């Protein structure tokens, strides 16, 4: 509603929940139960440097590779139809996949370039689970929105925001 756009990008190797909408957002196999699901949910590849098919010389090379693929995908999907990119800055249940140097900052720049909202899912990583209040605090960018739950109450009450 904020952007007037309808497509939502999220990554493979991500988990965003099990309800119908959140299930469509998830990039791993737990989403299969809600498929074929809703139109407009687009998945893109996550940098996965451990056992990756491509051997990168360094983290920066991996960052460049994945950002250029994301840029292409945004162009082919039509930037004007993309409302938001959802990212777990440090994924939880798909392995603790630390992003290569500059990657999240680069996604932020792509979002700014195309007027796309960057939404960080900190349901698992938020409230101190990575050593800082939020996982995004380890990096040099700011998301437009952070979603959180679990740790906000140490799970003593069902609360999410
Ligand atoms: C990263 C992440 N996002 C979202 C969810 C879903 O949270 P909720 O059950 O509060 O919708 C989970 C649940 O494990 C999660 O790990």
Q: Is residue 102 within 6 Å of ligand 1 at its C-beta?
A: no
pLDDT score of 156 more than 80: yes
* Helix 59-77, helix 103-114: angle, nearest 10: 20
Paired tokens of 124: 């698992």
Integer angstrom CA distances of residue 147 from 67, 73, 150 = 23, 24, 11
**pLDDT confidence tier of residue 18, bands split at 50, 70 and 90:** very high
> What pLDDT, on a 0 to 100 scale, did the predictor assign at position 141?
98
In this prediction, residues 114-141 reach a mean pLDDT of: 97
- In this structure, the residue with its CA closest to atom 16 of ligand 1 is 124
For ligand 1, mutation pick of 19, 26, 125, 149 (most atoms within 8 Å of CB): 149
> What pLDDT, on a 0 to 100 scale, did the predictor assign at position 55?
85
The answer to whether 66 touches 56, Cβ cutoff 8 Å, is no
pLDDT score of 30 more than 80: yes
For ligand 1, mutation pick of 10, 11, 13, 16 (most atoms within 8 Å of CB): 16
Query: How many Cβ atoms sit within 10 Å of the Cβ of residue 152?
Result: 16
Q: Is residue 88 within 6 Å of ligand 1 at its C-beta?
A: yes
Domains parsed from the chain with CATH numbers: 7-121 (3.40.640.10)
pLDDT in tens, 38-75: 999 999 999 988 877 778 999 999 999 999 999 999 99
Which pTM does this prediction carry?
0.95
């Amino acid at each position: 509603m904020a952007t007037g756009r309808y497509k939502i990008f999220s990554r493979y190797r991500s988990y965003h929940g099990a309800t119908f909408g959140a299930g469509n957002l998830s990039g791993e196999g737990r989403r299969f139960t809600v498929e074929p699901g809703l139109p407009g949910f687009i998945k893109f590849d996550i940098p996965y440097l451990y056992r990756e098919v491509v051997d990168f010389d360094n983290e920066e090379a991996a960052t460049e590779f994945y950002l250029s693929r994301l840029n292409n995908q945004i162009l082919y999907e039509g930037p004007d139809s993309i409302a938001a990119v959802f990212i777990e800055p440090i994924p939880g249940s798909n392995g603790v996949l630390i992003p290569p140097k500059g990657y999240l900052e680069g996604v932020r720049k792509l979002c700014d370039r195309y007027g796309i909202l960057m939404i960080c899912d900190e349901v698992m990583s938020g409230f101190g689970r990575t050593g800082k209040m939020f996982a995004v605090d380890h990096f040099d960018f700011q998301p437009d929105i952070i979603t959180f739950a679990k740790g906000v109450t140490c799970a003593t009450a069902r609360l999410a925001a």
